[in-house]
Amino acid sequence: MKRRTFVAAAASLPAVNILSGTARAQSKEIRMIESGGASGESIEKGYIEPLFKKTGIKVVRESPSSLGKLRALVESGQTTTTLFELGSGIVQQAKKLGLIEKIDWAAVDPAPMFPEAKAEYGFGYQYFSTIMAWRKGVKEPKTFAEFFDSKAFPGKRCLPDFPHYCLPFALQATGVPIDKLFPLDVDLAFKKLNEVKKDVAVWWKAGAQPPQLMKDNEVQYSICWSGRVVGDPAFGLNFAGGKADLSFIAIVKGSSPENKAAAHKLFHEMSLPENQAKAAEVISYTGPSPNLDPLLPKDKLWQFPTSKQNKAVQYFENAEWWADNGEAVNKKWEAFKLNL
């Protein structure tokens, strides 16, 4: 019943707008908490500016976004922040904790989108890859088996300090093909990591660390986010075996209807391929439109997570598996880190 009134309200929304004018139906300014850096600027250029031009709605950005912050926002009862950026696994967790709201897709009225991006609780707005990269001049690995083989490829490594990144890559090094990674053989992955941990100089928490450490020659090989290294002549990289993932923007629980209406307008802008092409000029990540590829510069297609040649060689993050097993794996991860 709730759903029906919901859909009915959504369907009648444009009519209400015409009748009562837009002044009361939506806010003129909403706030968003996102990841920051170049990614935040791409949201500004790609989506916030076109929205402002069309509707006069301002979106104020803040960063960084962490699940703890979202929990604090909701539990303290504040509703000034409407939009929140979350990773694919985190969306599941936030949903379980009751921190985000369903998206009213009828009100968004999006242009065609890849189905996984059109989720019940989040707008999948940005594909990004986690890949192997290295400092130019060292021996170049082609697979993760080679990447983790420090005898044949000498040099220090820099790996993410997050199990959901490291474990699947370590499994690939034991010979598991990318389509058979899930359900993860956690013990086998940790066994491999225990073999290679002596070669890992730094476990990174911030995405800016690996490129800087490679430039400083503190480490020679990294697993890092593709957008941080593509196009920089100091680095070599390979998408093979990489992880393609989707970042989501969700609506904070308890947001007012006016703010939600404005958020839906922003979501609509985010679904348009021409806006996604603008965002991709700022950072080499891609939006969820199937019609985006022809709008991207031909000579840069190799840099994007979703272009054909890259999508084929990567695996896609399995957020459901992590939602079920993440907590147990996290404890094992902390124990593993203590024995470094």
The dihedral built from the CA positions of residue 300, 303, 307 and 310, taken in this order, carries a sign that is positive
CB 196 within 8 A of CB 261: no
Compute the distance between CA of residue 129 and CA of residue 244 in angstroms, rounded to an integer. Answer: 4
Task: Name the token pair of 81.
Answer: 């922040």
Q: What gap in Å lies between CA 323 and CA 320, rounded to an integer?
A: 5
Tell me the residue ranges of DSSP E strands in 99-160: 100-101, 123-135, 157-160
61 is a contact residue toward another protein (CB under 8 A): no
Smallest separation (angstroms) from another protein to the CB of 85: 14
Q: Does 340 bind another protein (CB under 8 A)?
A: yes
Q: By C-beta, is 68 or 294 nearer to another protein?
A: 68
Provide the CA 289 distance to its chain's centre, in angstroms: 15
Binder to another protein among 203, 302, 316, 321 (CB under 8 A)?
203
Please tell me whether residue 71 binds another protein under the rule CB under 8 A: yes
CB of 233 to another protein, least distance (A): 19
CB of 162 to another protein, least distance (A): 9
Q: Which amino acid is at 286?
A: T
The reply on whether position 217 binds another protein by CB under 8 A is yes
| Number of residues binding to another protein, judged by CB under 8 A | 23
295 binds another protein (CB under 8 A): no
- The Cα–Cα gap between 225 and 88 comes to 15
Question: To the nearest whole angstrom, how small is the minimum distance from the Cβ of residue 33 to another protein?
Answer: 13
Q: In whole angstroms, how far apart are CA 196 and each of 92, 109, 169?
A: 31, 49, 12
Question: Residue 96 interacts with another protein (CB under 8 A)?
Answer: no
Report if residue 235 touches another protein, rule: CB under 8 A. Answer: no
Which of positions 128-167 make contact with another protein (CB under 8 A)? 161
Least distance (Å) from another protein to the CB of residue 200?
8
* Structural contact between residues 334 and 156, judged by C-beta atoms closer than 8 angstroms: no
In sequence order, which residues have a C-beta less than 8 Å from that of residue 166 and are 6 or more positions away? 159, 160, 189, 193, 223
Closer residue to another protein in complex, CB, 167/270: 167
For position 218 contacting another protein by CB under 8 A, the verdict is yes
Q: Which residue has the tokens 């991709």?
A: 280
Among residues 188, 202, 295, 323, the one that binds another protein under rule CB under 8 A:
202
Please report, as ranges, the residues that interact with another protein according to CB under 8 A: 66-69, 71, 161, 200-205, 216-218, 327, 330-331, 334-335, 337-338, 340
